[in-house]
Amino acid sequence: MNADPADTFRQEARELLETLEQGLLDLEKHPDDNELVNTVFRALHTLKGSGAMFGFLDVAGFVHEFETAFDGIRKGRTAATPELIGIALDAKDHVACLIEGAVDKPEAGELILSALRNLTDDTFPVAPVAAAPIPSPPPGMDDAKRRTWRIVFRLPADCMLNGTNPLLLLDEIRQIGPCTVTALTDRVPVIGEIDPEQLHLGWQVDIEAEDPRGALNDVFLFLIDDMELHVEPLNGAETTARPAETGPAPPATQPDEARSDRFPTAPTEQPDTTAQIGGHVMKAAEKPNPTSEAPPAIPKESGAAGMSLRVPAERLDELMDRVGELVIAQSRLQLMASESNDLGLRTIAEELERLSAGLRDTTMGIRMVPIGSLFSRFRRLIHDLSHDLGKEIEFVTNGEETELDKTMIERLADPLVHLIRNAVDHGIEDADTRVRAGKKAKGVVRLEAVYAGAEVAILVSDDGAGLDIERIRAKAEEAGFLMPETRISDHDLSQMIFAPGFSTVKEVTALSGRGVGMDVVKRTIDGLRGSVELSSEKGKGTRVSLRLPLTLAIIDGMLVRVGTGRYTIPLSAVVECVETPKTVETSARGRSFLDIRGELVPFLSLREMFAASGEPETHQKVVIVQCGEEKVGLVVDQIIGNNQTVIKQLSKLHSGLKAFSGATILGDGTVALILDTVNLVNMGQAQTDRYISENRGRAA
């Protein structure tokens, strides 16, 4: 089924708007960076051309005036002040609404443009999308200074695919002065060979102007390196062009005789000239060969560098499901081959295992997205909150190259929005308060991502006032979450802010105060099989750590046996495997440690935690796993081997089993539970603490 062209434009426009927003935010910090100005101008220029080409005339008209403001900045006539950037961001939002058809008040766009006009030195000529009328010569132009120039240009063959509308470029040339435009059709192939995605026409423009070269540089700003452009004076007037080789030039020819490398020249008495525009040499051409045939259409490159293909996310999800089923079938074949004496079957099973592993890794790689694509969204959030609350805030990000499954990226947006809003609204103090406390007036909010074994840790921190533990306790008692006589650690007390409806804000505002934000964070992260940890130091700030698995689909696992049950440990969490030393009692309760090359590593007996039946193996094994910054040993009866694990979510009935993150189907059709090592270790630690506390009570 063919995609709707309007939907295609909307999808590409969203990416351009994101580029535009990031460029504006960068420009606010570095107003003198010309490359940033060009980035913004390029995004606007492409939006305007694409909008007109796809029939979004209101978008093209609005963006044209938006673009004019940045033309003034690019030429140094207007400063990129924070006020101008703020209005430009509003204009970007309005463009997004125009594209989505969500503009409730048509006058909103005119108000934004009026604000832009008031902040720029340029006038804002409204360029209609249709053909513009030919303007009269500028008043006061001396006839001696006005002369006729011939402009011959051919745009890159693929320019329309990149959003360039040649008709809009011709409209801009018409604004330079009175002109006559003639289409060059010499390169148009026969109808059976026409590629509808390529531009085959060229144009000759005879224009009256004092010197059009500077204006042409602006018209073709983003095309000039890849296009053909020739400019020459026709009436023999003096020119500032750099002379080329001497010698007579042949008379001008008709437009349809022009060729790609030869264009009409000046009369014979006029010397050949070249002119420099933006690094592109424009020179008078030689007489074309009228008998030569037009060159064939430029063929499309196959496998061009950087080529990409847009695929609906649903297709990737379906592909992942199919790969998962293939992995399960491959595991069954592998089991059959291991139990068979058929050498051919074993060879096929090994080959299929290699191919399915490669297909799995490739499919997983397609789904992995750099988290920087998510981080960049929050720069605008910080910018707007900073202005709304009157706080100076520096936003620092790190680890943007860290990759996560696309599903994780999509579902992480809301939790991070709530965490950042809380950090800015509740954490960061106003400038005066910070200065009195001996801090810098500008607060800092950090957003970082790092790999942590089988997980990705996302850290949101601020250098604000920190949590008010006394107020949290008072609010918890008031809401009935805590009895007044209950003894609880500050760490556990701080975790209460994740309870539904809990809030310490005295007054509900548009930003916060209803007690739903942190609850959303907790529920979303739990749904992603992750964990949330919060720490705070009064007067120094707050730090929230989100730990998430790399993917929700397929992982490499280590299959182990505990009693009669089989379990899978994510292989990326496994550091090493060792045998239990004879001197260590694995059934001992309390704090138990192994000496691993001089390092003390605590361990847990899974037989005791799972209440496994039967006698333990004589030589038990210890699987050392990485949990955050620490290593912990898991004592098992047998290590069966590694396998590709297709993760199946547990039912709602079993969702309370925090020790398990899901289940997988083994080659023999049985089910093995997948261990959630972080929650498992936390549960083991809690059991150990209770055991020690009970024994201390008895001893007392």
274's enclosing H/E stretch is strand 273-277
Q: How far apart (Å, rounded) are the C-alpha atoms in residues 99 and 7? A: 10
How many helices and strands in the chain, by DSSP H and E? 18, 24
In the predicted model, is pLDDT for residue 561 greater than 90?
A: yes
Query: 38 is written with which tokens?
Result: 């060009």
Q: How far apart (Å, rounded) are the C-alpha atoms in residues 329 and 666? A: 9
Which residues make beta-bridge pairs with 449? 458
Nearest to 504 by CA among 494, 515, 492: 515
- What is the pTM assigned to this prediction? 0.61
In the predicted model, is pLDDT for residue 135 greater than 80?
A: no
Question: Taking residues 662-674, what's their average pLDDT?
Answer: 83
pLDDT at 544: 92
Range ranked top by mean pLDDT from 185-189, 312-316, 687-691: 185-189
pLDDT at 511: 53
Nearest to 634 by CA among 625, 642, 643: 625
In the predicted model, is pLDDT for residue 560 greater than 90?
A: yes
Query: 629 is written with which tokens?
Result: 């910054």
Neighbours of 653 (CB within 10 A): 7
Which value, to the nearest 10 degrees, does the dihedral of the CA atoms of residues 253, 259, 263, 264 take?
0
pLDDT band at 151 (very low <50, low <70, confident <90, very high): very high
Lowest-pLDDT range of 131-140, 496-505, 512-521, 610-619: 131-140
Angle, alpha carbons 137-139-140 (nearest 5°): 115
pLDDT at 547: 85
CB half-sphere exposure, 49, CA atoms < 13 A: 25
pLDDT at 552: 64
Question: Taking residues 166-194, what's their average pLDDT?
Answer: 88
Q: How far apart (Å, rounded) are the C-alpha atoms in residues 644 and 22? A: 40
Question: Taking residues 596-622, what's their average pLDDT?
Answer: 86
Which residues make beta-bridge pairs with 534? 544
Question: Taking residues 622-649, what's their average pLDDT?
Answer: 84
Express each pLDDT in 305-354 by its tens digit.
Answer: 446 677 777 888 888 888 888 888 888 888 888 888 888 898 999 999 88
Q: How far apart (Å, rounded) are the C-alpha atoms in residues 203 and 153? A: 6
pLDDT at 639: 93
Which value, to the nearest 10 degrees, does the dihedral of the CA atoms of residues 427, 19, 168, 78 take?
50
Q: How far apart (Å, rounded) are the C-alpha atoms in residues 619 and 621? A: 7
Express each pLDDT in 514-546 by its tens digit.
Answer: 445 687 888 888 777 677 888 888 889 999 999
Which value, to the nearest 10 degrees, does the dihedral of the CA atoms of residues 400, 406, 410, 415 take?
-60
